[in-house]
Structure 1
Amino acid sequence: MESPFMIPREDIEALEGSEGFRLLRNYLGAVEESSHAMNSFCTSHSTVSAEAQSIWLLHRDILHALVMPVVELFKRASTLAEAALCTKNTEDLELAFSGDARSAFLWLQCFLGEEEDWVRTRGCPACVTTETLSTESHVRLTVAASLLSTVEKDGHSTGLSLPPLPHIIPALRDALEADPFWGPECWPYLFSRATQLSGGIQALIASIIDLESLVSSPSLVRIHNREVAAKKGVKLRKSKLAKRQLWMKGEEMDLMRRCALQCWAQAAVPRQVRAEVLGLGKERRARSSTCP
């Protein structure tokens, strides 16, 4: 009935001293009040003490501050991909990215679609917090989001921005080591996978910057769409030059046929056999595009 995360008191005081984090907590509390969910705890956790409930709410709010920026980042990436590819088909949006950015986009697309309630911290705060330990994917996203929160923002952060949140990593590591299912041997593997996901999300951020420039330029969008269509095998409209090249290619084949016929004529190959082999049954010679 207690939270599996043990965060030092000095770290909690530092978080509570952040104006951005306080505003987030006030917003989440106002949302619960407006939805008439003053006691949002489930029946299993509604009987715990008020102090325990306040700890559950704090840890839920930390998870929300970690994961929701990643959710908004994915929404932005999806919107830009739709604009760049001119499609609403979610299965095609990955084509707007490549490499690690594409892998991260696909992973987020799958996980966020399946765990929408958890990533938006809906429901009982205690259940949402304990669900963080339920699967490898939950742990991976939580650690990756914590690593991303510590990345330098190039001086664009303001007083209302959320502070770095690395506090969950040691707390999560200790919780996994004490968990009878996970154990201490799982942490190195999980942390390695989370680090890879964090790097992929950073690559996705860089791709988003490129897509924003692409979407703002209609001419670049058309070029990008032609490249994507070519990769997918979609038929494109042939230019006059391409049509002329195809005509000349056919004319070249006709010349080769005539050379073969002349050689076979000298070898006394019957005319009927020559026509059947070369497919010249009732075919008439077409007018040349290069000669009158």
Structure 2
Amino acid sequence: MADTLAMSPFKIPLEDEELLCGHEGFRVLRDYLARDADFCSTHIHSDPATQAKWLLHRDLLHALVMPVVSLFKRASALAEAALCTRNTEDLELAFSGVARGAFLCLQCFVEEEEDWCRTIGCPACVTTATLSTESHIRLTIAASLLSTSPVSTPNSSNASTPTDEHPSPSKSLPPLPHILPALRDALSSDPFWGPDHWTHMFARADQLSADIQELIAECIDLESLVSSPRPTSYSSAGPRRVGTAPALLLQRMAHGEEEERKGAKVRVSQMAKRQMKLRDEEMEMVRRCAMQCWARTAVPSRIRGELLGMRDGEKRRRNLSCP
């Protein structure tokens, strides 16, 4: 039992390990992660060869998952800028469709499993935790599919090495499909999962990968809109430049409010015209009653007629409210 706990569940062919370790970007990442290689009391007594396997698999998981976490952090920052809010419950509103679903999925998982996503802790425990839940397995598969995707992916952008703010192409991470056969075999030999779960999990992970790609596309559009300048606004004191625009989302919201204030253009019916005329006549009647009450006190009839808007000899006209 102790030997089973001391062994990694993943079996990667030796030639794949050598090819992976020979990549410059992955080697830089491993040098950075080597500073955090403290094993727990359960795995500290493993032999050096086994610990080296744990570290390699931990580094491989880090190279897979951290670009997705970086994508989520960037998407959150863009959503905050677009919506002008720091309320995490509202950030999903910056995205739509399957991209919103991918954002919500990453938001829930990263908040609950941030230590695993950042591979913090014992390398062996981090590696074995990959098989702990379906969410861990699905995200690992999706990250591997994203690393081999021909479209713009997190691995091909700014999440290649943790030591470089703007990494060069030579230090970007390589495609990482090595985890897929190793993960499939690990699930098949696992006493809890068994071989019947791989097809279902891979299908769900493939859909998550496609949804994350939509999220990447919306992040690209959102970033260009957030960074675009707002139009110049003018006031009585002269032209004044306002800061950068939050996003097209706010512009659409403002435009929608403006349209709502204007209202829809409708044709005024005869009934509406009659109601408006009745309203005006009612106000006129109230004014006349007040003037008549005041005029009866001491004002002569000639002046009273002038105040009521009637000329000498003019008769009262018929109206809708008093025929």
With normalisation by structure 1, the TM-score equals 0.77
Tell whether 2:22 aligns with 1:17: yes
Residue number in structure 1 paired with 2:120: 122
CA, structure 1 residues 221+171, in 2 after alignment: closer, same or farther (shift >3 Å)? Answer: same
1:200, distance to aligned residue in structure 2 (A) = 0.7
- Rounded to whole Å, the distance in 2 between the matches of 1:252 and 1:221 is 46
- Rounded to whole Å, the distance in 2 between the matches of 1:160 and 1:150 is 16
CA, structure 1 residues 207+222, in 2 after alignment: closer, same or farther (shift >3 Å)? Answer: closer
- Rounded to whole Å, the distance in 1 between the matches of 2:78 and 2:151 is 21
From 218, 230, 255, the equivalent of 2:273 is: 255
- Rounded to whole Å, the distance in 1 between the matches of 2:119 and 2:284 is 74
1:163, distance to aligned residue in structure 2 (A) = 0.7
1:99, distance to aligned residue in structure 2 (A) = 1.3
Q: Mark the runs of 5 or more structure 2 residues left unpaired by the alignment.
A: 1-5, 158-167, 231-244, 286-323
- Rounded to whole Å, the distance in 2 between the matches of 1:285 and 1:168 is 85
- Rounded to whole Å, the distance in 1 between the matches of 2:8 and 2:50 is 8
Show CA shifts across 1:64-95 (max 9, x none): 00000001111111111111111111111111
- Rounded to whole Å, the distance in 2 between the matches of 1:243 and 1:196 is 42
Alignment of 1:72-83 (within 5 A): 72-83=70-81
- Rounded to whole Å, the distance in 2 between the matches of 1:244 and 1:141 is 48
From 70, 87, 90, the equivalent of 2:88 is: 90
Alignment of 1:60-71 (within 5 A): 60-71=58-69
Residue number in structure 1 paired with 2:137: 139
CA, structure 1 residues 28+237, in 2 after alignment: closer, same or farther (shift >3 Å)? Answer: same
When structure 1 is superposed on structure 2, of 93-102 and 218-227 the one drifting more is 218-227
CA, structure 1 residues 25+143, in 2 after alignment: closer, same or farther (shift >3 Å)? Answer: same
Residue number in structure 1 paired with 2:221: 210
- Rounded to whole Å, the distance in 2 between the matches of 1:135 and 1:189 is 14
1:227, distance to aligned residue in structure 2 (A) = 3.1
Q: Which amino acid aligns with 1:182?
A: W
When structure 1 is superposed on structure 2, of 211-220 and 170-179 the one drifting more is 211-220
Alignment of 1:1-292 (within 5 A): 1-30=6-35, 32=36, 40-152=38-150, 158-219=169-230, 221=246, 223-228=248-253, 236=257, 242=262, 254-255=272-273, 257=275, 284=283
Residues 60 and 129 in structure 1, CA contact (< 8 A), matched pair in contact too:
yes
Identity of aligned pairs, percent?
60
CA, structure 1 residues 229+143, in 2 after alignment: closer, same or farther (shift >3 Å)? Answer: farther
1:152, distance to aligned residue in structure 2 (A) = 2.5
Q: CA RMSD in A?
A: 3.1
- Aligned pairs, number: 252
Judging by fraction of residues, say which structure has more helix. Answer: 1
1:218, distance to aligned residue in structure 2 (A) = 3.6
Residues 38 and 122 in structure 2, CA contact (< 8 A), matched pair in contact too:
yes
Q: Which amino acid aligns with 1:169?
A: L
With normalisation by structure 2, the TM-score equals 0.70
CA, structure 1 residues 160+229, in 2 after alignment: closer, same or farther (shift >3 Å)? Answer: same
For residue 149 of structure 2, give the secondary structure of its aligned residue in structure 1.
Answer: coil
